[in-house]
Structure 1
Amino acid sequence: MTLINTVSVPESTSDERAARLTEAGAAWGDRIAAKPASAQLTYRVGGAGEGSVATRITAGKHEFVVDEPAALAGDDVAASPVEFALGALISCQVVVYRLYAQALGIRVDEIDISAEGDLDVRRLFGIDESVRAGFSEVRLAVRLSGPESAEKYEELKAAVDAHCPVLDLFANPTPVVVSLSNQ
């Protein structure tokens, strides 16, 4: 069984995108100014095991499957957890590039981002506890097109690097609390 993401993303013009970004930024600014606590969001996502090692994830009204390739005991019906993590980083970067390009008045016609992450599986399989379980390095290649100078795009990159939530997750330690229950 192969699960393919067949979601169609609606096309939008740069004017429509600019209007949505401006409207969202203004609405959040007003909301936070009126009630600072509204800036605090909690995301809830659930998952249940399926197949060999796959997981069906439910995030609000959305559902998707995460799996592993056969070499890592999976059925290879979907991208792996670390591929989804890299995808989350890329997609957050796109959002923040769009948001800050609009805020800074920097025109970006196209955004194309690729990510690579190096992972040593010896820790995963209990072979060597001295290596890190997660990525030892992640590399992003961001390609922007548009009429702006290289300096303007560097200004934009600096703003994105300072404000991207998922980049922050990768770049900084995040406290994680794990609770276990036995039913």
Structure 2
Amino acid sequence: MSLTETAPQISADERAARLTEAGEFWSRRIESAPSTANLSYTVTGVGTGSVASTITAGTHTFTIDEPAGLAGDDVAASPVEVALGALISCQIVVYRLYAQNLGIEIDSISATAVGELNVKGLFGIDDAVRPGFEKVRLTINVTGPESDERYEDLRRAVDAHCPVLDLFSNATPIDVELIAN
């Protein structure tokens, strides 16, 4: 599946079965071999076009670019848009996972992330301005028969366990190695 294709539509029962099966699989696997809980992801990229990158993640290849105003060819979403997309995608996954685990019914879910970024940091115009987002507003819309309190319980569980929300919320140690030939 490419970045522009949509996921197949499945029924709520099929989704519930997949989520339950995945949870049970990982529980058994980690119980029998605790070290298997540690996963490593590798993504590679190569520069293309004006400032674009062709990214390979597992069997998936996609492009990330910048708009013309940031020297790009505007052939794909920008890195910060992809980061926001990763955040809302992870939120949707973890909402579905924890709704299943907590027995909370969701009829539909959608999310919006708005990132505020000041380009003075990116372009080195003002070193007091960070180059990344100054703030991100995340809105999750769920519909279903549950009470507001049940959905708030779900939000707290997701906030505590969403990997990409954690990346946005907490500093992650990064080792950078430059190899110049």
Is there any run of 5+ residues in structure 2 with no aligned partner, and where? none
Which residue is 2:71 aligned to? 73
Q: CA deviation at 1:7?
A: 1.0
| 1-structure distance, mates of 2:29, 2:4 | 34
Which residue is 1:21 aligned to? 19
| 1-structure distance, mates of 2:105, 2:154 | 10
The within-5 A match list for 1:2-151 is 5-151=3-149
C-alpha distance after superposition, 1:42-101 (max 9, x if no partner) = 000000000100000000000000000000000000000000000000000000000000
| 2-structure distance, mates of 1:155, 1:8 | 30
Q: CA deviation at 1:5?
A: 4.2
| 1-structure distance, mates of 2:122, 2:43 | 24
Which residue is 1:157 aligned to? 155
| 2-structure distance, mates of 1:7, 1:79 | 15
- Cα RMSD, aligned residues only: 0.9
When structure 1 is superposed on structure 2, of 5-14 and 173-182 the one drifting more is 5-14
Which residue is 1:171 aligned to? 169
| 2-structure distance, mates of 1:43, 1:71 | 32
One-letter code of the match for 2:110? Answer: D
TM-score normalised by structure 1 residue count: 0.97
One-letter code of the match for 1:41? Answer: L
Q: CA deviation at 1:175?
A: 0.4
Q: CA deviation at 1:6?
A: 3.2
In the alignment of these two chains, the number of paired residues is 180
TM-score normalised by structure 2 residue count: 0.98
| 2-structure distance, mates of 1:144, 1:5 | 24
C-alpha distance after superposition, 1:100-130 (max 9, x if no partner) = 0000000001001000000011011111011
C-alpha distance after superposition, 1:144-167 (max 9, x if no partner) = 000000000000000000000000
One-letter code of the match for 2:146? Answer: E
Between the two proteins, what is the percent identity of the paired residues?
A: 62
One-letter code of the match for 1:61? Answer: T
Poorly superposed stretches of 4+, deviation over 3 Å: none
| 1-structure distance, mates of 2:33, 2:113 | 37
